[in-house]
Structure 1
Amino acid sequence: MDPLTAFAIAALMMLLNGGVLGILHRDLPEALRPSAVSWRIGTLLQAGGCVLLTVQRQLPPAFLLPVANFFLILGITCYWRALRQFYGLPDKPLIYLPLVVAVPGMWWFVAVTPSLSARLWIAAIVWAVIMFNCSQVLRISPRIDRAVSRRVLIAIFTVVAAFMVLRAVLFMLSPSPGSSIIDHTWLNMITPMVASILPVTGTTAYLLLCSERIRRQWEHAATTDYLTGLVNRRIIATTGSQRVSQAREHGKVFGVALVDIDYFKTINDRYGHDIGDLALKHVAARIERSCKAEDLAGRQGGEEFVVLLTRDDITQVLAFGEKVRQSVRSAPFPANGTDLTICVSIGIATLTPADKQFDDLLRRADQALYSAKALGRDRVMAEFGHDVAKSA
């Protein structure tokens, strides 16, 4: 198989991958579509560049080679842009700088001072710069994306960049390097194969990256309250059961705080449900600000929130309740041009030997909350076993 045939096969594989991306476009979430479009354009541009290289014997090199390299370099630049879009990074015109520098250089070393070596080094440097930046976008995102496909893409970009540099070095060291990239040398034979790794295997890895993002979004939706961003009731119940076992094993004080917005129905009736939703978000934010890293705050339902607490002693659990109450009360809530003072009632219970399961603890916290409501609201009540104590 000669290099021209290899480029033709690579182009066909790239076109097929670009077509698959186009077919799957509608199935992608709206937020991922701009990135997918950029990746598909990059793949099709790579295919276009390979097609042009297959017909270079029929067209003037001074025209064809700069145009073919324009397609190829713009294609990998689109991959760079696609990854930036995928991770929510802003567009930067500077990503096109390697393209602006490379194409005139390619033309010069074809039409004015013909030099295959110079063209190979320009391609190697430009590809390496773009591949490095693609890898950097992927490397700086491990906190938000731990997918295996991300590491696969990093490996692909690294391999392709290394090959382009190695190709230029080997050409310089070769005793009979040839005069063009279509000469029958082993290096020219494997070049289209390596170049196709990115648009072919890389596209598969990119689709897996999208799939992983969608899976995480579904998991997030299944475990998170859509309005406040706190975890939902199911996660609270599951985690609560786990922490009951951990507290008994390690001898820590495990507590539950139930937080209920006072007169929430009045807020809804007077200002409307939109303001009521904002009030829920406001209180959720104040609760989160009061939590430690190991605490877990969630929305139990309606205007009721629950917080799981692990502390060294009971007084720290009580202190948390009072901290939340004061935090909510001291933060005015704007509603239709007026600052409202929102108050909460809080019921607290800590784990005792009599509690067989998490629901028993939650039930006692609910009894304490009921007491706080009955005694006038805007207060923290704690029930330990059968004793009810006013803490605020």
Structure 2
Amino acid sequence: MHLNIETLALLNGGQALVLALMLWFGTRDGSNRAVKGLRLRAGALLLEAGGDFILAFDFKLSQTSVLLMGNTLNLAAQALTIVALRMVLGRNLRWREAIALGVTGWLGVTYLGAVHPDYLMRVLWGSAILTCNSLLNLSALWGGCREQDTRAQCLLFWTYVLAIALLVWRNLSLWMLATPPQGIGVPTPVNIAYVLLFGLQPLLASVGFLLLYNEILQRDLYDLARIDPLTGVINRLGLLEASDVLLTKARARRESIGVLLIDADHFKSINDRFGHDDGDRVLLELVASIRRMLRANDLVGRVGGEEFLVLSPSVKEGDLLALAERIRTAVEHTPFHINGQSYALTVSIGAAIASSSEQDMMAARRRADAALYEAKRAGRNCVRISAA
């Protein structure tokens, strides 16, 4: 088999087809936004494969047919890739810009190829459109290389940077030739190198997409292990990890951390009277009431049942008691709706201060728990702080 344009295009088309099947059948949950983006990328690869196969069998087609069909498929694939990447990343899809670039590119290439033939200008026009497509992808990936938990964005970022560099090199090479070729199918060194190198882009981009999807899954699993599924706040594990981080920062700044243990009074009666579904809705409203009283750097998590923990860095005893009282008052004056009826709910709060010299937060949490017990003994709907 000779190394010519048709052979390279056939190999590239086969590679794109295999990658498309891998992306499509390698994902299962089609309702996930990232999976939808991956499958959209698979569709783009099928279009790229179609464009490669048209180039591979250009000897059976007219030059105009190869030009129009091949560019239609490739430009459509580029537009789909822009939307697919942004869908996986959770960004604004920018599909209008993607479509506009595709249509503009097709009109320019068609005019310079079929109406007023000028190969060099056609390559320049197409390269400008492809560069704009890559710049849209780069804007979605910007900053990804600086994030600690992702390397896939870095791979994709440099893939599109290299794609732009390849386009620049191709145009410079063509314009420097004394007699430039009049089509991509002409087996010149520039065309062969371009088709060979450009054929690697789908492979690198698809690997990047798969790695990016894997990183998203890992982050989702990480969050699932640390987020309470009912209330959306962090759970015991998340609180434990967050406590260590806050205590490390407190040591560096020699500051204290406020700890509030909040328990909904007589919550069992709500579940017994209205059922657990309505009880869950009350918990959601309770969390919302607590959150409205917190500062941006305060943290709330669910310890279990109807008990919640608030961590408030850089506070003193007076500030912590004021925060606890604001939370207690807000909950007391919030009407909780159950089956169309308003229900009054109160909370008991135990408070404690963790100094920066403590080894961990467990001792402060035990003191807050003891203070909470005192608040319940005092008749509930009140705040008590640990004396130790």
Q: Please say whether Structure 1 and Structure 2 have the same fold, judged by a TM-score greater than 0.5.
A: yes
Residue 340 (structure 2) pairs with residue 337 (structure 1): yes
Q: CA separation of 1:114/1:242 partners in 2, compared to 1, >3 Å: closer, same or farther?
A: closer
Partner of 1:81: 83
Moved over 4 A (4+): 140-146, 241-250, 352-357
Q: CA separation of 1:344/1:199 partners in 2, compared to 1, >3 Å: closer, same or farther?
A: same
Q: CA deviation at 1:283?
A: 1.9
Residue deviations 1:102-156 (CA, integer Å, cap 9, x gap): 2233333333322211221221121111111122122277899951111211221
Partner of 2:11: 9
Partner of 1:390: none
Of 83-92 and 40-49, deviating more is 83-92
* Structure 1, unaligned runs of 5 or more: 386-392
Q: CA deviation at 1:9?
A: 1.7
Residue deviations 1:153-180 (CA, integer Å, cap 9, x gap): 1221122123224422432232121221
Secondary structure of the residue that 1:26 maps to in structure 2?
A: coil
Partner of 1:44: 46
The CA distance in 2 between the partners of 1:339 and 1:195, in whole Å, is 65
Equivalent positions of 1:123-202 (< 5 A) are: 123-139=126-142, 147-202=150-205
The CA distance in 1 between the partners of 2:165 and 2:68, in whole Å, is 22
The CA distance in 1 between the partners of 2:358 and 2:151, in whole Å, is 42
Equivalent positions of 1:1-392 (< 5 A) are: 1-26=3-28, 30-88=32-90, 89-90=92-93, 92-139=95-142, 147-240=150-243, 243=246, 247=250, 250-351=253-354, 358-385=361-388
Does the Cα contact within 8 Å between 1:258 and 1:365 map onto a contact in 2? yes
Residue deviations 1:198-239 (CA, integer Å, cap 9, x gap): 311110011000000000000001111111121111232344
Secondary structure of the residue that 1:381 maps to in structure 2?
A: strand
AA aligned to 1:306 is L
Residue deviations 1:46-97 (CA, integer Å, cap 9, x gap): 1110111111122111112110011111111111110222234357344212
Aligned length: 385
- CA-based RMSD of the aligned residues comes to 2.6
Secondary structure of the residue that 1:225 maps to in structure 2?
A: coil
Does the Cα contact within 8 Å between 1:259 and 1:306 map onto a contact in 2? yes
AA aligned to 1:287 is I
Secondary structure of the residue that 1:252 maps to in structure 2?
A: coil
The CA distance in 1 between the partners of 2:180 and 2:82, in whole Å, is 32
The percent identity for this pair of structures is: 28
Secondary structure of the residue that 1:384 maps to in structure 2?
A: coil
The CA distance in 2 between the partners of 1:242 and 1:94, in whole Å, is 42
Q: CA separation of 1:261/1:156 partners in 2, compared to 1, >3 Å: closer, same or farther?
A: same
Q: CA separation of 1:248/1:145 partners in 2, compared to 1, >3 Å: closer, same or farther?
A: closer
Does the Cα contact within 8 Å between 1:84 and 1:90 map onto a contact in 2? yes
The CA distance in 2 between the partners of 1:272 and 1:359, in whole Å, is 34
